[in-house]
Amino acid sequence: MRRTITGFSNPTVKFLRSLREKKHRRREGKFLAEGLRLLTDARASGVVPEILAMASGRPAHPLLDELEAAVSAANGDVIEMDEDILAKVTGKENPQAVAGVFAEFDTSLARLDRSASPIWLVAQALRDPGNLGTMLRTGDAVGAGGLILIDDCADPFSVEAVRASMGAIFTQHLAIARWEEFLPWLRDGAGQLVAASLREPTDYRAAHYEAPCFLLVGNESQGLPEAYEAECDLRVTIPMRGRADSLNAAVAGAVLAYEALAKLEA
């Protein structure tokens, strides 16, 4: 059943706003996603929000009607509020007409099935939520099994990362681990670990990739620690023809993913 909120001081509004902060997301185990397309992608992936917040006076849309029906059928909470209240919730001056609250996913390595895809993306100490979201989108585009975040990365459940993922947060498996957890897990089964590197690398187009292939990119400014690179089965580089000394981390991951996929499917 739909209910209406008219005040900024409403407890539900305060709860929704709190999910913009990592400490509150961790405490509640919830995250916020905004936009009809993103929430529709979530529903298509079998996930519906626990709370659906909609701007009053919004234009009618069949997808929004279907989303509201799905939330109601799952005994979720459907809320209508003025656009300026929704703007406070999302932190955007011009918010999209709908936002949803979702339960955070299980991000353990144990839930991953490495045989589910020939390619997996791995990011170490990735700090920019936009890059994180872009890597999720890349994983979705190439049919990767998912994205594994190593060490201290940006929060994948932040509003910024979720928005940047364009719905891929719901289509890609996501795992979070320390390096000392990830490496034993990887070596306990099949898997080639390939690092984007400048240390004695092979040209990425001449490299031999093996499935399942785990493509590892490092921090945006510092790259991968040398000790991590030493543990990799293969180190590859993308030639630079201009004056810039490196590609954006997420872009590099995309370039490597498409090349590896082409070789594995050949």
**In a shared domain, residues 145 and 245:** yes
Q: Which residue has the tokens 């993103």?
A: 38
**In a shared domain, residues 130 and 250:** yes
**In a shared domain, residues 117 and 249:** yes
Q: For residues 253 and 131, is the Cβ–Cβ distance under 8 A?
A: no
Q: Which domain-ending residue is among 86, 103, 120?
A: 103
**In a shared domain, residues 176 and 223:** yes
Q: What average pLDDT is seen over the chain?
A: 92
CATH code, domain carrying 151: 3.40.1280.10
Domain that holds residue 199: 109-265
Rg, C-alpha atoms of the chain:
20
**In a shared domain, residues 127 and 244:** yes
Residue 182 has pLDDT above 70, yes or no: yes
| Tally of CA atoms within 13 A in the half-sphere of 149 that contains its CB | 25
pLDDT attached to residue 1? 66
Read off the pLDDT of residues 76-117 as tens digits, 9 standing for 90 and up.
999 999 888 888 888 776 666 889 999 999 999 999 999 999
**In a shared domain, residues 233 and 121:** yes
- Say what percent of the chain tops pLDDT 70: 96
Residue 189 has pLDDT above 90, yes or no: yes
Q: Which domain-ending residue is among 70, 103, 136?
A: 103
Q: How many domains does the chain have?
A: 2
**In a shared domain, residues 92 and 215:** no
CA 70 to chain CA mean position, Å: 23
Q: How far apart are CA 20 and CA 157, in angstroms?
A: 9
CA torsion angle 75 81 84 87 (round to 10): 0
Residue 244 pLDDT class (50, 70, 90 cuts)? low
**In a shared domain, residues 94 and 114:** no
Q: How far apart are CA 131 and CA 27, in angstroms?
A: 25
